[in-house]
């Protein structure tokens, strides 16, 4: 058999997320059941907090394939999902339908939410806002989020629970596998092997997601580099930014930052 080998490395973060979600969707039967357990555990404390506020509508603004979005719907909330990855929001409605939910998903970066939402929400949730790369982009994103929250609405996101970021990075690095080779997954004429290679950096963990794709006589590698997690900002940084935008009652509780409009 003759093989043609092509390698593409995606360094642009948004493009890399697209590649990541494209192949994660393709291979999902392999990892999904374990992932449901992880997202259920992650969403439980979020639901506990939300239940203490007067929340009916939620925007999950870094929804990925929408696993957490579905859990918000399952808990009885009106929910929508948005993400900057076109691939993610393409597949998310299919996943939701499989679980019996008709959820609106739309393409939007955080900073564009004011143009893309077309409505406002009682709660905006993100598991990625804390991983934004620059201070300027944090400000722009927080402003857009503020603009689509109802008066008295809450913005909630995950955050580091300590000020010493180097320590958090070290702990994360020690606890995670450095190389993971997932078993091959075949569907139709395509066979994919996903290899994850982690690197420690001064701003968090850089994940090299290498997808080896065999199709007919060709083999190609698509490599998506993502910071996962990026650990760059402290609670103090977030508090300062959110206060500047106009948020009030900003506090941190069990690794979640909660701010009220």
The site for ligand SAM (CB under 6 A) is made up of: 17, 39, 62-65, 67-68, 83-85, 88, 109-110, 127-128
Nearest Cα residue to 157 out of 93, 242, 34:
242
Residue closer to ligand SAM by CB (options 85, 234) is 85
Residue closer to ligand SAM by CB (options 122, 127) is 127
> Biggest alpha carbon distance in the chain?
65
What is the nearest approach in angstroms of ligand SAM to the Cβ of residue 83? 5
Residue closer to ligand SAM by CB (options 120, 191) is 120
Residue closer to ligand SAM by CB (options 180, 218) is 180
Residue closer to ligand SAM by CB (options 80, 127) is 127
* 3-state secondary structure at position 77: coil
Residue closer to ligand SAM by CB (options 27, 62) is 62
What is the nearest approach in angstroms of ligand SAM to the Cβ of residue 210? 18
Residue nearest to ligand SAM (CB): 64
Measuring CA to CA, how many Å separate 196 from each of 16, 66, 209, 216?
A: 14, 22, 5, 24
What is the nearest approach in angstroms of ligand SAM to the Cβ of residue 10? 12
Q: Which residues are CB-contacts of 90 (< 8 A; sequence separation ≥ 6)?
A: none
How far is C-alpha 2 from the chain's CA centre?
39
Rg over alpha carbons for the chain, rounded to the nearest Å, is 19
DSSP 8-class letter at 183:
P
Residue closer to ligand SAM by CB (options 65, 192) is 65
What is the nearest approach in angstroms of ligand SAM to the Cβ of residue 45? 14
What is the nearest approach in angstroms of ligand SAM to the Cβ of residue 42? 7
The bridge status of strand 179-181 relative to strand 190-201 is antiparallel
Show the tokens assigned to 222: 């698509």
What is the nearest approach in angstroms of ligand SAM to the Cβ of residue 144? 9
Measuring CA to CA, how many Å separate 128 from each of 180, 188, 216?
A: 23, 34, 37
| Exposed / middle / buried, residue 165 (Cβ in 10 Å: 0-12, 13-18, 19+) | middle
What is the nearest approach in angstroms of ligand SAM to the Cβ of residue 67? 4
Number of neighbours of residue 214 by Cβ within 10 angstroms? 16
């Amino acid at each position: 058999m003759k093989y043609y080998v092509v390698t593409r490395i995606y360094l642009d973060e948004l493009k890399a997320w697209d590649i990541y979600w494209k192949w994660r969707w393709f291979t999902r039967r392999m990892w999904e059941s374990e992932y449901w357990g992880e997202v259920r555990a992650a969403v439980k404390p979020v639901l506990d907090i939300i239940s203490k506020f007067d929340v009916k509508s939620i925007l999950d603004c870094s929804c990925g394939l929408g696993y957490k979005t579905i859990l918000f719907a399952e808990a009885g909330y009106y929910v929508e999902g948005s993400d900057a990855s076109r691939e993610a929001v393409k597949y998310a409605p299919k996943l939701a339908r499989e679980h019996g939910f008709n959820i609106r998903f739309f393409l939007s970066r955080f900073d564009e939410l004011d143009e893309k939402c077309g409505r406002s929400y009682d709660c905006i949730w993100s598991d990625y806002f804390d991983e934004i790369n620059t201070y300027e982009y944090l400000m722009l994103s927080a402003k857009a989020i503020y603009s689509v929250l109802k008066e008295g609405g809450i913005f909630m996101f995950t955050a580091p629970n300590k000020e010493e970021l180097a320590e958090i990075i070290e702990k994360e690095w020690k606890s995670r596998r450095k190389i993971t080779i997932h078993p091959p997954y075949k569907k139709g004429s395509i066979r994919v092997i996903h290899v994850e290679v982690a690197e420690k950096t001064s701003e968090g963990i850089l994940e090299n997601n290498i997808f080896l794709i065999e199709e007919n006589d060709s083999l190609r590698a698509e490599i998506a580099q993502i910071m996962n997690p990026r650990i760059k900002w402290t609670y103090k940084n977030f508090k300062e930014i959110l206060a500047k935008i106009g948020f009030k009652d900003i506090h941190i509780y069990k690794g979640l930052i909660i701010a009220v409009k």
